Amino acid sequence: MAVPDRRCPDCGVTMEGMTLRSTGGHNLQVVSGENREGILGKLGMNQTYGAETLVCPECGLVRLYAELEE
Ligand SMILES: [Zn+2]
């Protein structure tokens, strides 16, 4: 998936893609409370998404994006 150019709202510099992990070494996931697939989905199943992390090299601001399908 192509990462669009994203800039820090404070510094205006391009933020770098990084990996955010728990102390146990697991990648973090984003979990929705409801299924976005509607009638095609399975009832009671939460949707999980990968998390894309961007870090500003200037001020250290971290932004986290859920990797939603188009
Ligand atoms: Zn910044």
Q: What are the pLDDT digits (tens) for 4-57?
A: 678 999 999 999 999 888 888 888 888 877 655 655 555 556 778 888 899 999
Is pTM, for the whole model, over 0.75?
no
The residue written with tokens 């989905």 in the block is 41
Q: How far is the CA of 61 from the centre of ligand 1 (A)?
A: 6
- Give, for 51, the enclosing helix (H) or strand (E): strand 48-55
Which amino acid is residue 48, in one-letter code?
T
Q: Determine the Cα angle at 30 with ends 5 and 55, to 5°.
A: 35
Which amino acid is residue 51, in one-letter code?
A
Q: Determine the Cα angle at 62 with ends 10 and 69, to 5°.
A: 110
Q: How far is the CA of 42 from the centre of ligand 1 (A)?
A: 41
The per-type count for the chain, helices as H runs and strands as E runs, is 0, 4
